[in-house]
Structure 1
Amino acid sequence: MYTQLDFSRFYGTDAKDRDEFCRALVSDLKQYGFVRLVNHDVPSAEIGKAFETSRRFFQLPVDEKLKSPHPPTAHPHRGYSAFGIENVSAVSNHNSSKAMPLLKDMKESYDIGSEHDELYSNIWPPVGVYDAFQPTFTSFFSVCYRAQLAILEAIAIGLELPAATLKQLHANQSNELRLTHYPAVAKDDFAHSTRIAAHTDFGTITLLFQDSVGGLQAETPPGSGVFADVASGGQHECIVNVGDCLAKWTGLNSVCHRVHLPEKDGGVDGQPDVVDERFSIAYFGKPDRSASLRPLMGEAKEATYVTAGEFQNMRIQGTY
């Protein structure tokens, strides 16, 4: 149901084909709230290195991982979160037409920001814990930022806005990179839990990379309360989600999504009642904190609008 788009068309020499690609990109975003991209600007070697580094970190003993802990509050969104620390379900009913059950998330994660962020510093593993971690993800963050800007330019063109409209609202790199590990889990646990509860992303666009385990589901059509599987194209495919800020600017639907029990799962090592562990990497593109969320298309309906920073703070409260 969800086809892949080839982002290399954006860089082709045929301007007509480029514009057709941008329109197709926006068409999928309008219909589904996300799009599957191949041949994007994040090199396969960088993705592979990031996944391997993430896997090795999460394999460390818990006491080693806890040497770079996420603060007990929502801000700054940095460092390692152990199982049960984050409560995405607390905001899972936001913007949904149907109330979702409150479920326990079964995951651990690590949050990273820009090294140029003047408001929040990164929390890195101390020297000697895993020294390859910081340089790997400092580099990967920069690569994803450049890819995000290109995708935002393509979206602007597809919306018939000036090409730089969205890019210029992301100059300060207020973005976040999240590594997530979902452990192997008994299928029976999904009666009262989920790998991550249904939610929309807070920012502009999310670049999602995932392994082939499966379990990602999107609300289709938007607002229906019905979730459909999104087949994984492997870790080199990039799924681009519309976030709440882009929805407010453009009227595109921010996609409500979750990670749940894969419908087709063979179990782990001959144990059909156990779902395999899963890894994903998400780059959350966020506007500059001072950027107004006044609509970029159509007429404004209010005298004043919140800033992206104010909106992010409202959404994130209660997750920790």
Structure 2
Amino acid sequence: MTATIPTLDVQRFTHPRSAADRAAFVAELGACYREWGFAGIRNHGIPQAQIDRAYDVFQRFFALPEAVKRKYHVPGGGGARGYTPFGIETAKGAQYFDLKEFWHVGREIPRDSRYAEVMPANIWPEEIPEFREVAYGLYQALDELGSQVLGALALHIGLPEDWFRDKTDHGNSILRPIHYPPITTPDVPNVRAGAHEDINFITLLVGASAEGLEVLSHQGEWVPFTAAEDTIVVNIGDMLQRLSNHVYPSTTHRVVNPPGDKARQPRYSTPFFLHPNPDFLIRTLPQCVSADNPDRYPTPITGHEYLLERLREIKLV
């Protein structure tokens, strides 16, 4: 029987009935991430109407003519903001590019911020006036939910609950609406998203309009993870794996092409990639080093340096 990835009720952490139940949630969430690097989070407090409105806006953008969308592509920008056309991003080590196009929304910061040089201003499509309000509203909601999850993960490894707050409050986090177009050619060698690990601290995936996400278990089995409508999928990225010395593993996952007629349906997906502040030094946490788990990363690296290294590998820069 195929294993299943747990889904937990985050209100046991944010609005607990008792201190004991809150502690039990932290233990269960930590154990889930140690095993899977993935978890489902329900009762997250982001209204379904807000999510539905965001998907409506994103689908309307992707339905615009190709020439209009390409106005918002920034050559040489590494896809950091605005539109990235179909056929560019390629999973690390993959032969074929992914079957997707996407848009990037970043954090709104003052242009005199010390981070302005590495965090460009957002671009907004003038054809859809409400895009900015809707997309950035979802960005902020997912940013806060991500902070709550990081708070529980911090407690699980013996850190203060707010340890991550001032390390991520200016993070170069990204909201990425994705469109996977219908697959009309039989035997296409590409997949919608090749097997990969995420770069960042954690990723929050809100609403996938079709199945396709698969997670690689420790036993080498691809486990499908199609979450219920009220569930946000949250997974560990490589930066948190490195910081935690692999206590929290960054798990390989992919988006496969569906069989038969389902392949001829588009798929929409919106992950939020939660990053540390660009100058945060990813240095192995002493709480995660032991005789059984010696420090794998004796040389620290900043969040921005690590990001650039990985963007080159996936052909975005």
Alignment partner of 1:259 is 2:280 = no
Aligned counterpart, 1:4? 7
Q: Which moved more, 1:105-114 or 1:207-216?
A: 207-216
TM-score using structure 1 length = 0.86
Aligned counterpart, 2:292? none
Cα deviation, residue 54, structure 1:
0.7
Number of residue equivalences: 297
Pairing partner for 1:104 from 94, 97, 100: 97
Alignment partner of 1:175 is 2:168 = no
Pairing partner for 1:139 from 126, 137, 140: 137
AA in 2 matched with 1:53: V
AA in 2 matched with 1:313: L
Aligned counterpart, 2:241? 247
Pairing partner for 1:66 from 45, 67, 70: 70
Does the 8 Å CA contact 1:183/1:277 hold for their aligned counterparts? yes
Unaligned runs of 5+ in 2: 110-114, 290-294
Aligned counterpart, 1:122? 121
Does the 8 Å CA contact 1:80/1:109 hold for their aligned counterparts? yes
AA in 2 matched with 1:200: E
AA in 2 matched with 1:62: E
Cα deviation, residue 215, structure 1:
0.6
For 1:317 and 1:247, the matched residues in 2 are separated by 20
CA RMSD of aligned residues (A): 2.0
Aligned counterpart, 1:313? 308
Pairing partner for 2:277 from 264, 277, 288: 288
Aligned counterpart, 1:198? 195
Deviations 1:218-271 (A, max 9, x none): 11127x4x422112323x321001001111111211011110123xx5615xxx
Aligned counterpart, 1:83? 86
Q: Which moved more, 1:167-176 or 1:49-58?
A: 167-176
Secondary structure, aligned partner of 1:23: helix
Secondary structure, aligned partner of 1:85: coil
Deviations 1:110-140 (A, max 9, x none): 011011162323342453x111111111222
Percent of aligned pairs sharing the same letter: 28
Deviations 1:162-196 (A, max 9, x none): 11122231121321110100011147344x10001
Cα deviation, residue 42, structure 1:
2.5
Does the 8 Å CA contact 1:212/1:232 hold for their aligned counterparts? no
For 1:174 and 1:185, the matched residues in 2 are separated by 33
Aligned counterpart, 1:166? 164
Distance 1:70 1:228, change over 3 A: farther
AA in 2 matched with 1:108: E
AA in 1 matched with 2:208: D
TM-score using structure 2 length = 0.87
Secondary structure, aligned partner of 2:26: helix
Cα deviation, residue 147, structure 1:
1.2
Distance 1:303 1:109, change over 3 A: closer
Distance 1:135 1:302, change over 3 A: closer
Aligned counterpart, 1:96? none
Unaligned runs of 5+ in 1: 94-100, 269-273
AA in 2 matched with 1:107: K
For 1:107 and 1:298, the matched residues in 2 are separated by 37
